[in-house]
Structure 1
Amino acid sequence: MKIKPYIIILMLIGNLWANSPFYSVQTHFGQFRRSDMDSLSVEEQLDLCTEAGIQMIRDECLWSDVETDSGIYVIPPEIDHYVNSALSRGIDIYMILNYNNSIYAPSNGSGITTQANRNAYARYCQAVVGHFSPLGVKHYEIWNEPNHGVLFWTPQANANDYTDLLHTAYDSIKAIDSNVTVIGCATSPAIGNPSPYIEGLDFIRDVYAAGGALYMDAVSFHLYQIAYRPEHEFISYVNNVKLFVGDKPIYFSEFGYPTHTTWPNISLAKQAQYVTRMYLTCFMDPQIKSVMYYDLKNDGTVPEEPEHNFGLLGFDKTPKLAYTALKELISKTAYSRPETSSSVNDIYFADIHDSLKIVWTYSGTKSLKLQVNANYVRLEGLLGDTLAYCITENDTIKLTINESPQYCITQTEIPIVDKFSFNDHDFLLYPNETLKCIYSAKTETGTPIIISPSAITWEFIGQTGELKNDIFTAFSPGVGMIIANILGIK
């Protein structure tokens, strides 16, 4: 299928939403038996979350760890440690309540199909919520990928059974704290996967058809499109979810791009672009309340293994480019969010805020004329590096943009134009020959300054020719000087 290139323009409006934990990541602190999830590693990872501005982590408190003896509920100290450490840093917790418990079922991965098993699960939910809600944990997700009949709901995924579980769990949780948010579905995409999977959209549809909307405050789903650009069919997928859930709040609780060395060969630079673009794409939809990258840290060290290489950090916690890019995005947008968006001829817009715009293309390079309502603009790249300064033309700038998001930030002033020059410094013209004033400019440090043509007025001193706009015509022998006047500076 041929995909038309398009430009996305994101313009932020300054409504404070710091209390909305949009920027989230998946961590694996709940898997505390892993050697790379000891208490020191947890602290180091949370420090990096804080440094990046991450607002919430998605993690778990397994039923099989809480209830090891029937009817006795003990929160493992390792779970308490990561929860308290995150909360002390101002990072919210999105707690997954999973999976089954072999005390009540054939295995921890078994689906829940009986009321006795549902009641036992509900008691575990009450124990966890009763313990953590007073501390400030207010988001609870019922299961993880219950449509995954191979690992997480064996031997066969079943939407009606899951809906019955939602009903029992929801009522039990709300009896403990009616103000917490209970999130349902948490589906694997499972696109094209045969039984015992159920495709994610079909599962959400069937849960809603069974009355599940009454037993969740929000809906979540997972989507992995590692072979495609982030915008590829994402908006249509979300719109299909909305067909079933209406205006129910949406939590996009897993997406990721692995940097393993085999197909589809996502480089570190491409991962940084894609992570940023996916958050921005979701950013334009106010119904999406939180987006969770999977995952914070690489889970292993095998270069060709996808599951080992999803992280924003390497296995040794060294930041990848994607971590730096996300940190830059959060620093610029954590207190703003667009109100609405629209599209015209494959150009996407959000409501404007004069100080910041973010632009990129779906694919390839395109030219763009952008309204900025300012005389000066600084262009920054994905990682916060200054690409250029712009002096505008009637408050607009002409840009060449590509697949890597650029930040267009209005300025009250820019660095001094240190080097302004024609392509050639000296010209020898014969009578009636013409010269177009082609020029370049840089700061003292060599950063390009893009000067829009109408931001310059031209002046010719001499009697040997004529200057009209930026075209000089020689008349007779002699010497003259062409002067550029840039917003009052010659």
Structure 2
Amino acid sequence: MNALSIGRRSLLLLSCLIFTRITAADPFIVGVATHSMNNLAQPLRSLELASVAGITSVRDDAFWSTAEPTPKQLRIIPQWRAWLNTASALDLRTMVILGYGTSFNGNAKPREPEIKIPYLNYVDYTTRQLGNAVQYYEVWNEWDIEGPSDARLSSDYVALVKDAAPIIRKNNPQAKVLAGAVTSAGIKGGFVDRMLAGGVLKYADGISLHPYVHCEGRDHNTPENWINWLRDLDRRFTSKAGKPVPLYLTEMAWPSHEGNCGISAVRQSAYLARAYFLARTVPTIKGMWWYDLINDGTVRDDQEHNFGLLNIDLSPKLAYSVLKAISPYLRDFTYDASNSLQADNVYKLAFSDGRERVMVAWATGRPRDEHVTAAAMKNGPVRVLDTEAAIQGMIDSPQKWTCNGDQCSAPVTLTEFPKIIRLSPGA
């Protein structure tokens, strides 16, 4: 082997090692929004249930109005520390929102110096006090909501991130700073495009989005149409920024209420599984935080009461059981685009963790009879985790692999509930 070949081989090995380190350091984030940082009615025991479900990050509010109830009298309430301590003990990465106004400032946004200066003082105090217990900070929440198409509003927001980010980094160098928390209306109104054009990525580590589609109408409110929209956005944002833009979906869900824009709790669980797996197919999407952990009430026809994974008494909804079943595959497996299929309402997504290979497969519309292929399955039973019966976990199905040498195939009926099919022997 000549020196040039050795050099190329060494460079390739180094590249692989770097890629491996990056992949290991940045697993996909399976997150959830909580309201227990400020709401005593939502016990911290719910964080244990989040951890049991395989959730790796929790997101909540450090309200400016709570930290500064009267001018220049700043505090950290005990409940915030209890939330952070509980999350840290469970190895949950925390995301804290720095936002909302104060009554003595008329609840105005910090756009002018007389409001921005006290806001930045609150940011400084809060991030110093909370320290390294926080891994992600969001600068405000849904700033765009009052004017999704307002260019001045987006410009003022970029200016706020420019001022707030250095303060956060000084007090917590390890934390990622996320900008935006942009609503669907803001995304459509060009708010993110204007943020990127304004250079927000000079100050922030990524863009956070709230790309809800549950009220988009029958043809546009499914996970599959949702991910097509996000892929278009990803291409657009990359073009605008001149580089891939890290995207954090810090709120996303379908509510299971009775009424306009609602779906059943059963379909909510199917949509959750499909959305999380589809999010894994877009490399720039770094994580998704389901909104939210606990239903906010018990009124069946109230949308805001029915987004959660848990009922208000902490009993699990079907969506919780599904997320618990699929979270190891979301976190620990890598998407294999070259062996995946997304066409004709059939989805076969390949994933691997280096030892085990799986196919996540479903069909939209009517059920479909399909075949899956694998190598060296030895005519054994097909092992499947069917999210329609997620509580059963991975089991031997009645179907068997039919093998010709090392090449094996098996029939499978696909429905709207993803099936996780093991493609590697053993494990």
TM tier, smaller = 0.7 to 0.9
Q: CA deviation at 1:179?
A: 3.0
Secondary structure of 2:174's aligned partner: coil
Secondary structure of 1:372's aligned partner: strand
Q: Give the one of 385, 388, 392 matched to 2:402.
A: 392
Instruction: Give distance in 2, aligned partners of 1:351 and 1:175.
Output: 42
Secondary structure of 1:404's aligned partner: coil
Instruction: Give distance in 2, aligned partners of 1:264 and 1:116.
Output: 41
Residues 98-146 of structure 1: CA deviation (Å, up to 9, x unaligned)? 112233x222xx22221332232222112222222333x1200111111
Q: Among the aligned pairs, what percent are the same residue?
A: 26
Secondary structure of 2:420's aligned partner: strand
Contact 2:60 2:97 in 1 (8 A): yes
1:202 aligns with 190
Contact 1:52 1:327 in 2 (8 A): yes
Contact 1:30 1:79 in 2 (8 A): yes
Structure 2: where are the runs of 5+ without partners? 1-19
2:48 aligns with 47
Q: CA deviation at 1:384?
A: 4.7
The letter of the residue matching 2:420 is Y
Residues 348-393 of structure 1: CA deviation (Å, up to 9, x unaligned)? 5655535322101132222322122123321221015344342323
Secondary structure of 1:183's aligned partner: strand
Q: CA deviation at 1:217?
A: 0.8
Compared with structure 1, are the counterparts of its residues 281 and 269 closer, same or farther at alpha carbon in structure 2 (3 Å cutoff)?
same
- Map residues 120-159 of structure 1 onto 2, 5 A cutoff: 120-135=118-133, 137-149=134-146, 158-159=153-154
Instruction: Give distance in 2, aligned partners of 1:271 and 1:281.
Output: 15
Q: CA deviation at 1:65?
A: 0.8
- Map residues 245-394 of structure 1 onto 2, 5 A cutoff: 245=241, 246-340=243-337, 345-346=343-344, 353=352, 355-373=357-375, 374-375=377-378, 376=380, 377-382=382-387, 383-385=390-392, 386=395, 387-394=397-404
Instruction: Provide the TM-score with structure 2 as the length reference.
Output: 0.82
Q: CA deviation at 1:297?
A: 0.7
- Map residues 154-169 of structure 1 onto 2, 5 A cutoff: 158-169=153-164
Q: Give the one of 369, 387, 404 matched to 2:417.
A: 404
Contact 2:30 2:330 in 1 (8 A): no
Contact 2:368 2:415 in 1 (8 A): yes
Q: CA deviation at 1:172?
A: 1.8
Instruction: Give distance in 1, aligned partners of 2:384 and 2:95.
Output: 35
Q: CA deviation at 1:16?
A: 7.0
1:95 aligns with 96
- Indicate the larger mover: 383-392 or 259-268: 383-392
Instruction: Provide the TM-score with structure 1 as the length reference.
Output: 0.72
Q: CA deviation at 1:230?
A: 1.0
Instruction: Give distance in 1, aligned partners of 2:159 and 2:261.
Output: 39
Q: CA deviation at 1:399?
A: 1.9
Higher alpha-carbon Rg: 1
Residues 267-323 of structure 1: CA deviation (Å, up to 9, x unaligned)? 221111001111001012221111010011110111111111111111111101110
Compared with structure 1, are the counterparts of its residues 218 and 277 closer, same or farther at alpha carbon in structure 2 (3 Å cutoff)?
same
Compared with structure 1, are the counterparts of its residues 391 and 78 closer, same or farther at alpha carbon in structure 2 (3 Å cutoff)?
same
Q: CA deviation at 1:213?
A: 2.2
Residues 399-447 of structure 1: CA deviation (Å, up to 9, x unaligned)? 2211110111247589xxxxxxxxxxxxxxxxxxxxxxxxxxxxxxxxx
Compared with structure 1, are the counterparts of its residues 80 and 311 closer, same or farther at alpha carbon in structure 2 (3 Å cutoff)?
same
Task: With a CA cutoff of 8 Å and minimum separation of 6, indicate the structure with the bigger relative contact order.
Answer: 1
Please tell me whether residue 239 in structure 1 is matched to residue 244 in structure 2: no
Compared with structure 1, are the counterparts of its residues 269 and 64 closer, same or farther at alpha carbon in structure 2 (3 Å cutoff)?
same
The letter of the residue matching 1:30 is M
Q: Give the one of 179, 204, 209 matched to 1:216.
A: 204
The letter of the residue matching 1:36 is A
1:475 aligns with none
Q: CA deviation at 1:222?
A: 0.5
Count of paired positions: 381
Q: CA deviation at 1:345?
A: 4.5
- Map residues 451-466 of structure 1 onto 2, 5 A cutoff: none
Compared with structure 1, are the counterparts of its residues 300 and 247 closer, same or farther at alpha carbon in structure 2 (3 Å cutoff)?
same
Contact 1:149 1:156 in 2 (8 A): no
Q: CA deviation at 1:336?
A: 1.5
Contact 1:26 1:292 in 2 (8 A): yes
1:114 aligns with 112
Structure 1: where are the runs of 5+ without partners? 1-12, 191-197, 415-490
Structure with the higher fraction of residues in helix conformation: 2
Residues 53-109 of structure 1: CA deviation (Å, up to 9, x unaligned)? 110001111111112233332111111111111111111101111112233x222xx
